[in-house]
Amino acid sequence: MFRMAPSLFRTSENKIRLGLEFFLETVKLQKSTLVQRPTLLMFSMKERVIPRYRVFQLITSKKLMKKDPKFYDMMCLTEHHFLEKYVSRFTENVEELLMAYKGHRLDLGEEYECFLENLLSIFDLIGIENVWSNWWHSYFYLYCCLDENDACIMSEET
């Protein structure tokens, strides 16, 4: 691995360990893939790997492509080419894919229903009746815009 990517020596042991765990346990990559492509361990988990993995999950779960994309190929593209190839071309799902990529997609699993109930009661208290977004819940919508710092801004929508 280090022979193929000598700059991997500059990567911290903790980052390599976290990367190995994520790629082997979560993404389910083969060990041989990581040995052949050790640069995967040098990518930023927060800025590149996890956001692209969220998009990868959506594309594969919704069967948006005839053939599932290769995760390694998604990782190696520039941001512009990644967005062009895996986000903007899916016009019906572009909003959800972009939100997943930018990290504002809620993936709460079992806590989802409890979270929604608490959030709905808070919105009832502050008087927001209709909040917009197409992936949360049929009766609960969140209008989410990204500001210049890529933070999610919530506003009323009637």
pLDDT tens column, 19-51: 888 889 888 999 888 888 888 887 888 888 988
Q: Which of 33-47, 103-117, 120-134 has the highest mean pLDDT?
A: 33-47
- Contacts of residue 40, Cβ cutoff 8 Å, sequence gap at least 6: 19, 23, 29, 33, 34, 49, 72, 75
The domain spans of the chain are 6-102, 109-154
pLDDT of residue 57: 92
Q: What is this structure's pTM?
A: 0.60
Quote the CA–CA distance of 23 and 27 in Å, as a whole number.
5
- pLDDT band (50, 70, 90) for residue 2: low
- Which of 76-85, 88-97, 138-147 is predicted least confidently? 138-147
Q: Which of 92-106, 112-126, 142-156 has the highest mean pLDDT?
A: 92-106
Please name which of 2, 89, 14, 12 lies closest in space to residue 38, comparing C-alpha atoms: 2
- Contacts of residue 115, Cβ cutoff 8 Å, sequence gap at least 6: 106, 108
Tell me the average pLDDT across 12-25. Answer: 84
Between the CA of residue 21 and those of 24, 26, 27, 89, what are the distances in Å?
Answer: 5, 7, 9, 31
Q: Which of 70-84, 124-138, 141-155 has the highest mean pLDDT?
A: 70-84
